[in-house]
Each structure stands twice: as structure tokens, then as C-alpha cells.
């Protein structure tokens, strides 16, 4: 039975042990989502899970969850921490880089959660033999007081990016030594790290690194079938003072139940997909942290139209610090008459789209993506090849893993020419290459085989069982 539905024998053992797991996510959608999925997996073993965040970000996580019914999981307790005040600038589609600098004030505001989170964990620890704190790798500052002063608490660092990306950054940071593990990088040209992160974000990350005092283990949203070699070299490198690590991914469900909203109806895009041929639609979405400029939207619109391929395109700006506050920042303009011209072949979605269900639909045959790790894992899980258009942070390196190492995708954006607008002809060619060529079909077959291997590993459940046994020891 898949770990995603398994309540297993380990669950009763853990209930006897009376442990509690506390999740501390970074307040950005890709991070909130991954730890909420992990909460679901752990709670299925009859372990109470406390998911900590501000009321706004807890609401965001619950509102956007897809692929499962959160109401069915009663062991997840959402704890609303006091909401710090912080600036909430809108996303800037014309910014010189695609990094979501407008969210940095949100990240710095989390520093004020240090005392409230410590106080909650202290209260939970009074009547619980063991507290397991799983914190985002960009959130150790707020839990730094927990382990030193609460003897029955343990902390585990969750890494939201690929093992390949993490090790490549570490290898560069120590001077690119000529060690056997370096062979893993000789066939690729790694993008420069400094091009992806603004200085203010680097300062926030450094503060988190300095606060990582005690760590009992490391958790990855990955699995050996996808990047076993890089998980192995990370284990040798030792990210912290422990050699314990678990690759528990994919966190997202790998089998998708029929998705319905509160009125019992499926999202309109799923109804539209039902009418399309198998593997005939490319899904276009760049996540929650990227805004395209007007020029980029125009080029993408033309490229998709001229490709003559069916598509679903999510046209929306990046998230604000508070997604529920105020109106939409901008309604991006498409070329005049565009939606009429693509009617029947293309679908424009301007609201929140159920990405996992779209990727899991039989009609979806490709995914044009920013290559965020959350989206990458979902695409691999569903057996969908990727047209890689990285925007910032870890995404350029994830794109390398996708296109050059796993060979399950094509490049749209050449990262070495990152300052240039991707033109419609480049987009058209990439879409045709992925969706309508023998090369694209080979990639599709390759990712389907990888998806099958991932699903088999999740059904086996050994990695998750190992982690559950460890925290219940």
C-alpha cells in the first residue's frame, strides 16, 4: 500500500510513544505546500502534527492544497502564530531579476515568531515525551532556542530543493575540490550562484545558517529513483553534525483522486482537458513567485499560438506577501483578439489552477515550468516531461538536472543569456520539440518509466517507515 494512504503498524507504536511533530515552514507557497504534504504523510501514521504559521499563511496553505482532501486528516492541527507587521510591496514584473524580492520583508518578519513558537513548543513538551520539530532550511532562526532548552525536543532540517542543487552549491562553496564526487558535475556547466540571489536575501539566508545550532537529521523531498547519486554524496558531505538523512519524497500524492470543489464541480480546466486527446496538451505555469513582463507575455502568447499545440496557460502575477489582501495587482494583457483566435485549442486560466490534477490528467503531455522543485517533483510523479524555463534561485540547476542529467525535458530559456527576453520563435520551437517530435516522445517515455519507479518506491514505503521508526524509537 502506498505510504500516502498507509496508516501502518508504526502508527499505533507512535501513538503509544506519545510523540508530537511540529512543522515550521517558510511562508512562501512552494515551502508551505511541501511541508503540508509531509504533514499529511506523517499524520497518516497516527501521529499528531502541529503546522505553525501566521493565520494568513495557514489559510493560504489550506486553501491551495490539492490532490487530497485535508478534511479527511484530523491529526493536523493548524496553529496561528501572532502576525508580525511587515511591508507588503507588490510584485514587480519589470524588475531586473525574477527573484521575488517583494517577499523578502515577509521572510524577515518571521524573525518575530521566535518567542511565540518557542513558547508553544514548550507548552506541548510538558505533557509529551518527545517533540519532533521539522523546520524549513530557511527557518532555523525561530527554533534555535528549542533544542538547547527543551530536553525532550529534537529538530530536523527540511531541504526544499533538490539534492543535486544543494550539493552543487556546497561543492562550489568549498572551492570545487577535485574529489571523486566532482565527476557528477563535469558533464554540465553550472550557472553562477550569485546571479540568482539578491543581497538582502543572502543576508537572510546567512542569518539562518548562523542559527542552525543542533540538528538531528535532514529531510529531502526527493527519492533515490530520481537523484540517488546526489543523495549519496550529500550523506558523505554531512550537512550538519549528524549523518542521518531521509529522502521521503515525493511528498505530493502520486495517485490523484477526482478533484471537486465545495459545490461538487471540478475546475473548468479539468473539464476542458476531458475533451482533449491523450498527451496533446502542454500546461504552462511559472509558479507563485514569478511575474512576467508585458513583453514576455506577448512573446509567450505568440509562441504558443504559432506552435499549433493545445495548451493551458496560467496567466497570473506572483503572490503578494498576503494573497488575501486587496485586489489583483495586475491583469496581464494578451494580444488583441488572442483568446478568440485560440478558442478550442488553448485555455487561459487567471485564477488558482489545480496543478497536480492537471499534470495527472491523461490529456496533459508536457509542462512548461520555472523548474521549482515542488513543480519538478509533481511533474515527475505524474510522468510529464518539462519545457524548462528557470527564473531564479535553485531553478537553473534544477533545469540542468531535468534536461541534461535525467533527460526528461528541453530548455526554453538559456540561462547564460538570462538578461534577454525569450522570443516567440524560441518558445514555439521548444513546444514543438517537446510535444510533436520523436525526441519529445523519447523524453515522455523516459519520464513515464521514472514515474513508475517513483510510485513503486512510494508503495514500498521503506524510507518513510525508517523515519517513523526513528522518531518513535
In sequence order, the 6+-apart residues with CB closer than 8 A to the CB of 221 are 34, 38, 158, 159, 160, 248, 249, 250, 251, 373, 374, 377
Q: Which of 31, 159, 267, 361 is catalytic?
A: 31
The question of whether 414 is a catalytic residue gets the answer no
- The region that residue 448 occupies, defined by phi over 0 for left and psi between -120 and 50 for alpha, beta otherwise, is alpha
The three-class DSSP label of residue 82 is coil
Query: What CA dihedral angle connects 303, 305, 306 and 312, to 10 degrees?
Result: 70
φ and ψ of 350, to 5 deg: -110, -5
Q: How far apart are CA 89 and CA 101, in angstroms?
A: 9
Residue holding cell 512576467?
Answer: 292
Residue count of the chain: 473
Q: How far apart are CA 299 and CA 266, in angstroms?
A: 31
Q: Which three cell numbers stand for residue 199?
A: 543581497
Closest among 274, 88, 250 to 162, alpha carbons compared: 250
Are 129 and 154 within 8 A, CB to CB?
A: no
Q: How far apart are CA 14 and CA 315, in angstroms?
A: 45
Q: Which of 4, 66, 136, 267 is catalytic?
A: 136
Closest among 157, 144, 122, 155 to 31, alpha carbons compared: 157
Are 403 and 317 within 8 A, CB to CB?
A: no
Q: Which three cell numbers stand for residue 148?
A: 538547547
DSSP strands (E only) in 55-202: 76-81, 130-136, 153-159
Q: How far apart are CA 229 and CA 225, in angstroms?
A: 9
Are 35 and 158 within 8 A, CB to CB?
A: yes
Closest among 29, 105, 113, 106 to 79, alpha carbons compared: 113
User: What value does the CA radius of gyration of the chain take, rounded to a whole number of Å?
Assistant: 22
Residue holding cell 509542462?
Answer: 367
The question of whether 57 is a catalytic residue gets the answer no
Strands 130-136 and 153-159, sheet pairing: parallel
Q: Which three cell numbers stand for residue 92?
A: 514587480
Longest dimension (CA), the chain: 65
Are 350 and 370 within 8 A, CB to CB?
A: no
Catalytic residue numbers, as ranges: 31, 136
Amino acid at each position: 500500500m502506498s505510504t500516502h494512504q498507509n496508516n501502518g503498524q508504526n502508527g499505533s507504536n507512535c501513538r503509544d510513544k506519545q510523540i508530537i511533530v511540529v512543522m515550521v515552514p517558510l511562508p512562501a507557497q512552494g515551502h508551505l505546500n511541501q511541508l503540508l504534504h509531509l504533514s499529511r504523510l506523517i499524520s497518516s501514521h497516527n501521529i499528531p502534527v502541529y503546522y505553525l504559521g501566521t493565520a494568513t499563511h495557514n489559510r493560504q496553505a489550506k486553501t491551495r492544497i490539492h490532490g487530497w482532501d485535508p478534511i479527511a486528516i484530523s491529526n493536523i492541527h493548524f496553529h496561528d502564530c501572532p502576525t508580525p507587521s511587515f511591508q507588503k510591496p507588490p510584485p514587480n514584473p519589470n524588475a531586473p531579476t525574477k527573484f521575488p524580492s517583494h517577499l523578502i520583508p515577509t521572510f524577515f518578519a518571521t524573525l518575530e515568531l521566535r518567542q511565540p513558537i518557542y513558547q508553544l513548543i514548550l507548552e506541548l513538551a510538558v505533557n509529551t515525551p518527545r517533540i519532533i520539530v521539522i523546520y524549513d532550511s530557511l527557518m532555523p532562526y525561530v527554533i534555535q532556542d528549542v533544542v538547547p532548552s527543551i530536553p525532550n525536543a529534537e529538530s530536523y532540517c527540511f531541504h526544499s530543493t533538490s539534492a543535486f542543487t544543494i550539493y552543487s552549491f556546497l561543492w562550489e562553496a568549498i572551492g570545487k575540490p577535485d574529489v571523486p564526487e566532482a565527476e557528477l558535475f563535469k558533464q554540465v556547466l553550472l550557472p553562477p550562484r550569485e546571479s540568482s540571489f539578491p543581497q538582502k536575501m543572502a543576508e537572510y539566508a546567512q542569518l539562518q545558517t548562523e542559527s542552525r545550532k543542533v540538528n538531528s537529521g535532514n529531510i529531502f523531498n526527493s527519492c533515490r529513483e530520481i537523484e540517488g547519486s546526489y543523495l549519496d554524496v550529500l550523506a558523505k558531505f554531512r550537512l550538519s553534525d549528524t549523518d542521518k538523512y531521509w529522502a521521503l519524497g515525493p511528498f505530493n500524492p502520486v495517485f490523484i483522486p477526482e478533484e471537486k470543489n465545495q459545490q461538487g464541480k471540478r475546475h473548468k480546466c479539468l473539464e476542458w482537458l476531458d475533451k482533449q486527446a491523450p498527451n496533446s496538451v502542454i500546461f504552462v505555469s511559472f509558479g507563485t513567485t514569478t511575474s512576467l513582463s508585458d513583453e514576455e507575455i506577448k512573446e509567450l502568447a505568440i509562441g504558443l499560438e504559432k506552435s499549433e499545440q493545445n495548451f493551458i496557460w496560467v496567466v497570473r502575477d506572483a503572490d503578494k506577501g498576503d494573497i488575501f489582501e486587496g485586489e489583483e495587482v495586475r491583469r496581464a494583457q494578451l494580444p488583441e483578439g488572442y483568446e478568440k483566435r485560440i478558442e478550442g485549442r488553448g485555455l487561459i486560466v487567471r485564477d488558482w489552477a489545480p496543478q497536480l490534477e492537471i499534470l495527472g490528467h491523461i490529456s496533459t503531455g508536457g509542462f512548461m515550468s520555472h523548474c521549482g522543485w515542488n513543480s519538478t517533483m509533481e511533474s515527475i510523479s505524474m510522468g510529464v516531461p518539462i519545457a524548462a524555463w528557470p527564473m531564479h534561485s535553485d531553478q537553473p540547476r534544477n533545469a540542468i538536472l531535468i534536461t541534461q542529467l535525467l533527460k526528461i525535458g528541453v530548455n526554453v530559456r538559456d540561462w547564460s543569456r538570462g538578461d534577454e527576453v525569450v522570443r516567440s520563435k524560441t518558445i514555439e520551437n521548444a513546444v514543438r520539440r517537446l510535444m510533436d517530435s520523436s525526441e519529445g516522445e523519447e523524453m515522455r517515455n523516459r519520464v513515464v518509466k521514472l514515474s513508475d519507479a517513483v510510485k513503486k518506491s512510494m508503495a514500498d514505503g521503506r524510507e518513510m517507515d525508517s523515519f517513523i521508526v526513528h522518531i518513535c524509537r
